[in-house]
A and B are shown apart, each in its own frame.
Chain A
């Protein structure tokens, strides 16, 4: 296990509101990590900073063995480095088939010319079929993604992330709006993914986090409040005060 991503002393403010305040965070590869925290704790802003959507006012974001600084790189460049992100609401391309959605995400060269020459090869189609099996959408491959149920869209998006084959996966509330059976399946997918890569799950649902059985980071007002096992953080007096007590 080696450190894959290191965020140190990062701060960012929006119109005077301190969204992230001197935040430091590390994750190794492979590792499964859950981030919890009340609304406005800075969970989404944290993801925005790592993926290049938001530029921090100060602090460093260091990536990989070569200690590449991610601050100032474009979103697409960071994604190519191997950071995948899943949004809170499922954002799949509804007008395109499940197959095409997965094909878009497959780890390949991303430039316009490379894409122009790309006609999904046999190997690509096999890989897509395999992924569809993993996320349980084999029968839905030729259907438009817009026709899927909410839970299926969530899985499709996770499938797209897996297709990207990222080294770090950032997942925002994967279990939101899912049935208990779908939640169990989602837990399995995430745990399996975390065997070979770093996975960060942002989640509100304590029960879901408990089932993940991993190290938990509690954010509050843009900084780390507590870190450790789920039992450790849930017994922390401060955590109970700001988060669980409500």
Chain B
């Protein structure tokens, strides 16, 4: 193979070198358009507002799965704590949503008073409204910036990022790897959930933050319209996230992290600071998960500490495994497929299965089915659904190059024949 033949592909545009990115973004755009056309607010009204929200939330989960794929599928760090970062992103935006909306309500109710309310009175009113449920009437310290949207938006990125940075630095520096690291990440998310469950954690204990679907300043806008807006935002975030991840793994950075996944010690002897790379990926994916969470919870309407229980992060890993780790679209397929099927089964719409001795009620049996399919995927399709797609794609389009040699020179093409 000549040098020219080998360097030629490098000069092609990014989208041409990675057709799956183009296919994915096109499908995502078509999907977004389709949902918009079928929505109640902007089109035919064939899709209910609550289902638009479900789809929008699913897109956010896909973004979290992308992050999980980057950290596990590409770098080989089986983090079982990424939903903690997802939840923190949700809490960060939830605080502003709740504060700003309560502020409007309190201001309105105090407006009827004979004297105009002072800022302190408004602040006290807000505190009582939000924290009455846990028996407090003071705004905790963590709510210091809850009134400022830009600060809380920054927290969406900074809080998960900083937690991941500190946690990762401690763990990777001590060369904690494999199952030990997974256990450590589970411990982290469990500790965080237990802390948030406490009433004096400053985040309303097990009540969590609620009413997040009401966007302050957009009271006049109906939920049908808001749901589509958030759906668009989620689709945009997923599209950009996908593009970013694809760019990241397509270059030398991607080669280094895959090499770390396959043989960490060897990468060290090549001179790469393995720990720094792991920390970078861990932190970056935590930020991605935080952003996904910040888009998810306004659509869900409520966030509470149960959302960051250890099982949530395990589900995330299961989605990526079923979808196919080490392949970006695999993670998205896995998250979308499993979470939508899960919604269907646990929503009570699935018909019961009468087997005589036992009646299979899917609300209870869904987890069994999920567990079985996880085992089946591990055994029969280790690369997941994405792996099956990749295998089919390769069968359709073999990597042929060069000119036909012509009928007299056999069916092989130039390069293959010369080799």
- What is the CB-to-nearest-CB distance from A171 to chain B, in angstroms, rounded to a whole number? 12
Name the segment of B159-167, B212-220, B271-279 touching the other chain.
B271-279
A to B contact number (C-beta, < 8 Å): 93
| Cβ-defined contact, B255 with A100, below 8 A | yes
- Given A139-B419, A141-B1, A96 contacting B255 (CB threshold 8 A): yes
On whether the beta carbons of B272 and A96 are closer than 8 Å, the reply is no
Expressed in whole angstroms, the minimum distance between the Cβ of A198 and any Cβ of chain B is: 17
| CB-contact partner of A79 in B1, B6, B269, under 8 A | B269
Of the candidates B6, B10, B266, B272, which one forms a contact with A129 in the assembled complex, judged by CB atoms under 8 Å apart? B6
Q: B255 near A85 (CB under 8 angstroms)?
A: no
B residues within 8 A CB of A139? 1, 419
Q: How large is the interface on A (under 10, 10 to 19, 20 to 34, 35 or more residues)?
A: 35 or more
Closest to B399 in A: A142
Residues of B within 8 A of A211 (CB): none
Q: Which secondary structure characterizes the binding site on chain B?
A: helix
Q: Is A125 an interface residue (CB 8 A)?
A: yes
CA distance A96 to B276 in the complex (A): 22
B253 contacts which chain A residues (CB < 8 A)? Answer: 112, 115-116, 118
* Neighbouring B residues of A111 by C-beta, 8 Å: 273, 276
Q: B273, A125: Cβ atoms under 8 Å? A: no
Whole-angstrom CA separation of A53 from B255 in the bound complex: 23
Q: Is B256 an interface residue (CB 8 A)?
A: yes
**Residue A126 is within 8 A (CB to CB) of chain B in the complex:** yes
Is A75 engaged at the interface, CB distance under 8 Å to the other chain? yes
B47 CB–A CB distance under 8 Å:
no
A138 touching B252, Cβ below 8 Å: no
B153 at the interface (CB under 8 A from A): no
Query: In the bound complex, what is the Cα–Cα distance between A112 and B260 (angstroms)?
Result: 13
**How many angstroms between the C-alpha atoms of A160 and B270 in the bound complex?**
9
Residue B121 is within 8 A (CB to CB) of chain A in the complex = no
| Chain B residue with the shortest CB-CB distance to A100 | B255
Q: A79-B271, A95-B262 are in contact. Are A118 and B252 (CB under 8 A)?
A: yes
Question: SS class of chain A's interface: helix, strand, loop or mixed?
Answer: helix
Whether A99 is near chain B, meaning CB under 8 Å from some CB there, is yes
CB nearest to B248 among chain A residues? A116
Residues of B within 8 Å of A79, CB to CB, are: 268-271
How many B residues touch A, CB cutoff 8 Å? 29
Which of B1, B10, B276 touches A120 (beta carbons < 8 Å)? B10
Q: Is B3 an interface residue (CB 8 A)?
A: yes
Docked complex Cα distance between A87 and B258 (Å): 20
Of A85, A112, A118, the contact of B269 (CB 8 Å cutoff) = A85
Interface string of A100-127 (1 = CB under 8 A from B): 1001110000111001101110100110
Residues on B with C-beta less than 8 A from A85 are 269
In the complex, which of the residues A84, A91, A112, A125 contacts B10, with contact meaning CB atoms closer than 8 Å?
Answer: A125
Residue B221 at the chain A interface, CB threshold 8 Å? no
User: Does residue B377 face the partner (Cβ distance < 8 Å to A)?
Assistant: no
Q: A85 to B277, alpha carbons, bound, how many Å?
A: 21
When distances are taken between beta carbons in the complex, the residues of chain A under 8 Å from B262 are: 93-95
When the two chains form their complex, are residues B255 and A112 in contact, meaning their CB atoms are under 8 A apart? no
- C-alpha gap A76/B3 in the complex (Å): 31
Contact of B7 with A by CB under 8 A: yes
B238-280 vs A, Cβ < 8 Å mask (1 yes, 0 no): 0000000000100111011011001101111111111011001
| Interface: A44 (CB within 8 A) | no
8 A-B pairs with the lowest CB-CB distances in the bound complex, closest first: A79-B271, A75-B268, A80-B271, A112-B280, A118-B252, A76-B273, A93-B259, A129-B3
Between-chain CB contacts (< 8 Å), 28 pairs: A51-B269, A74-B273, A77-B273, A79-B268, A85-B269, A93-B255, A93-B258, A93-B259, A93-B262, A93-B263, A95-B262, A96-B258, A103-B255, A104-B255, A104-B259, A104-B267, A110-B270, A112-B280, A115-B256, A115-B272, A116-B251, A118-B252, A119-B252, A120-B10, A125-B3, A139-B419, A160-B270, A164-B271
